[in-house]
Amino acid sequence: MTKADLPVVMKIENGCQSYPWTLLQFLDGFNAGHDCWVVCKEFEKREMLVGFAVVSTALDESMLLNVCVRPAFQNKGVGRKLLEFLLQKARSEKMNTFFLEVRASNLFAIHLYESLGFEQISIRRDYYPSLVGREDGLVYSFASLSDLA
């Protein structure tokens, strides 16, 4: 991802998330040195940005901070391929653990993460804002990066 991608990234983010990141949060990610990735697909004979991810790394751990796929491309394997890429990248960089957090209500994402081998390790009670009150955040880890082929 480059800063030139941000208008499209923001459009995808705003179209998918109940509480989207702001442009400033994405810029802070660039400034902090986070790994920012995009997924492009050919669509109607042109390349289109269809998804993105932002990952933070520290020492031997990676943390997925944000991942989003354009709704028209959800449930078509885009998110899975992006996560598989991120896990392989973490493995190649000798990371020991890959963490992520997800809203407890995001059952599609939870299913995807668990199908990839992520395991829930904790709950952050009332972590996310929601339309009524707060919602729990589920923390997952993928600790067997060395087992990836």
Tell me which residues are annotated as active site: 101, 113
Residue 146: the pLDDT is 65
- Check residue 42 and give its pLDDT: 81
For each successive 10 residues of the chain (149 residues), what is the average pLDDT?
96 94 96 96 84 96 96 94 96 94 96 96 95 95 73
Q: What is the pLDDT of residue 148?
A: 60
Residue 29: what residue type?
A: G
Amino acid at position 122, single letter: S
Give the model's pLDDT for residue 46: 79
pTM attached to this predicted model: 0.92
Residue 24: Cβ within 10 Å count: 8
Q: Domains (ranges, CATH) in the chain?
A: 3-147 (3.40.630.30)
50 token code pair:
């269809």
Give the pLDDT score at 15: 94
Strands 97-103 and 35-43: unpaired
